[in-house]
Structure 1
């Protein structure tokens, strides 16, 4: 009941101060939702400053404004794609998909190694001898999936 007494004593200013506190907390605890709750608190305070309302209605207005603004914010940010000049930055294996290379070492038992750039990658595919041309077709974690490139003049079945 202390909260109700506080609201009754300070009225709309308690909502405005609470909204500002929530905005300040967003700086310490980032996540985005405290901003919208802070704005809802400030709007509730401004509304009750010009139109006195019972405390139950004030809480209802604050709750509805908070919920609606957070849901709208989530919907807008979830559907937004962020553009970047380096879309494959943290997906190193995706850089290699579609590239062709020559095996330095044979693939035996379904696995082998292939040097690409400054890294030696583990590869998975059919058993192939060293010197065979392969194409990188996918990746599973840090393992590149490869398949043999048909040799020129070979018949395709």
Structure 2
């Protein structure tokens, strides 16, 4: 159960709360809730409220905020690329948007501009070692397997 606090009076009416669009959806759409229509010229960055605050509460869960793929293909992405919502964060979900495209984009109140995916978090302990066991890959790094 994720606790949600509504911060914008336009939620949940006329704009619905985040939900899964299809039975197979991994993410729930987040809406931009600016006071008025915003125009983002190419290269512009803006922080827009989502109208919500959440409290996950369970340290084995985190929320990851991604751009929506359709808008991302037009250049609207998150300026931090992926947002991480920690289990103990209780503040507003603010969407840091960046127009990385070549055309001016309009963001209207209620537009679905991002999505949140809840994922399991593994919290490992460190095992300090002097060396690792040899693997077939070994220490090959960036591009070592070719293109």
Return the structure number with greater helix share: 1
Between structures 1 and 2, the one with greater strand share: 2
**Greater relative contact order (Cα 8 A, min sep 6): structure 1 or 2?**
2
For this structure pair, what is the TM-score category when the shorter chain's length is used for normalisation? Answer: under 0.3
**TM-score computed with the length of structure 1 as normaliser:** 0.23
Higher Rg = 1
